[in-house]
Amino acid sequence: MLKRSQKNYTYTGYLYILPWVIGFLLLQLVPLVNSLWYSFTQFQLLGDPKFLGLANYKKIFTADATFLQSLKVTFYYVLIAVPLKIGFALLVAIILNQKIKGINLFRTLYYIPSILGGSVAISVLWKYLFMNQGVINNIIATIGIPAIDWLGNPSLALGTISLVTIWQFGSSMLLFLAGLKQIPVSLYEAARIDGAGRMRIFFKITIPELSPIVLFNLIMQMINAFQDFTSAFVITQGGPLKSTYLYGLMLYDQGFKFFKMGYASALSWILFAIILFFTSLTFRSSESWVHYGDSI
């Protein structure tokens, strides 16, 4: 039995989180449940949904070639963008962890791309940098390399789009930087006394000590990459030849271009399942490679 004052205390706590709970119920849970229901219906936004059972899912898995293409593109995208982004963020974090004059300025500068975010303006900028007559081709022309169809060649476009994501490495970098600061100096000193070289120290101390942050970054970036939309939508609209037709883009087309909300809902639940699967997998695997401070 709780005492009266304890009870009041509990209610006060609930009261504090009430705005979030209301927000969650109305703005997240209701749409979530709705979209699950829509995924079993034919729903064209106007008019009422018609129950179809599993027909949407069946069509997606058996009769939609675009689904497979889009899934393939999305996996490639995640595989290219996520490791490169994390690797790059780590590299820059290590550089920015050195004691150099004006280091704070550099840290700010390197974080700026992330403040700009995956915005439309950045995507437009990217388009103009990498188009045939763009800045990049002009630069490489000065050293005698002929123009490259960065965004027009189906084999190159996805890589070019991935660069936007990789370039926005700032938030991952910041976490790595914080992590690097947390590593006890004594570990490095001990290793050096024992005669360990730079590489050995990096792989035996820095990486294991940072592994919880690598895990966090990996999961967050993976989820983001699976859901990515803006750059492909603005720069290439999924083309050329659907080579940048990310899952998010297909979802948008089905929902807002063809107004097949039921079908789009089914697609989004499949994406949810895919993300959940890979997140769990990463978590499972983390037991063998993530070291928490207390387990060393």
Partner 1 sequence: MKRMLILLLIAFLAMGTVFATGSKEVAKEDGPVTLRLSWWGGDSRHTPTLAAMDAYMAKNPNVKLEGEYGGWDGYYQKLVTQIAGGTAADIIQIDQPWLAELSSKGDVFTVIDDSMVDLSQFDAAFLKNYCSYDGKLMGLPTGTNVNTFVVDTKMLADFGIDPNTKWTWENIISEGKKINEQDPSSYFSGATPDNLRAWLEIYIAQLAGAVVDDNKQVAFTEAQGTEAFTYFKRWFDEGIIAPFRQTSLFYQKFQENPDWINGKMAAARIFVSSMEKDFAGRPNFETRQFPVMDGAVNTGILMRPSQIFVVNNNSKNKDEAIKLLAYLFTDAEAIEKLGLARGIPSTAIGRSVLAEKGMISEMVEKATNEGIAQAGDPQSVYQMNSEVIQVMQDVIDEFGFGRLTPEEASAKLIKNLEATLASL
- How far apart, in whole angstroms, are the C-alpha atoms of residue 59 and residue 54? 9
Residues 106-165 close enough to bind partner 1 by CB under 8 A: 127, 131-133, 149, 151-154
272 binds partner 1 (CB under 8 A): yes
Instruction: Identify which of residues 35 and 168 has a Cβ nearer to partner 1 in the complex.
Output: 35
Q: Which stretch binds partner 1 (CB under 8 A): 23-31, 75-83, 169-177, 197-205?
A: 23-31
Q: Which stretch binds partner 1 (CB under 8 A): 4-12, 15-23, 168-176, 240-248?
A: 240-248
Q: Which stretch binds partner 1 (CB under 8 A): 3-11, 101-109, 138-146, 272-280?
A: 272-280
CA angle 147, 116, 215 (to 5 degrees): 95
DSSP 44: -
- How far apart, in whole angstroms, are the C-alpha atoms of residue 45 and residue 258? 10
DSSP 42: E
Least CB distance to partner 1 at residue 204 (A):
26
Please give the C-alpha separations between residue 94 and each of 174, 175, 178, 184, 198, in angstroms, as whole numbers. 11, 11, 11, 15, 13
Q: Could you tell me which residues come within 8 angstroms of residue 109 by beta carbon, excluding any fewer than 6 positions away?
A: none
267 binds partner 1 (CB under 8 A): yes
Q: Is the dihedral of CA 159, 160, 163, 164 positive or negative?
A: negative
Query: Whose structure tokens read 């976490």?
Result: 175
Least CB distance to partner 1 at residue 38 (A):
5
Residue of 281, 283, 285, 289 that binds partner 1 (CB under 8 A): 283
Task: Give the footprint of partner 1 on this chain (CB under 8 A).
Answer: 28, 30-32, 34-36, 38, 43-47, 127, 131-133, 149, 151-154, 219, 223, 226-227, 235-237, 239-242, 248, 251-253, 255-259, 261, 264-265, 267-269, 271-272, 275-276, 279-280, 283
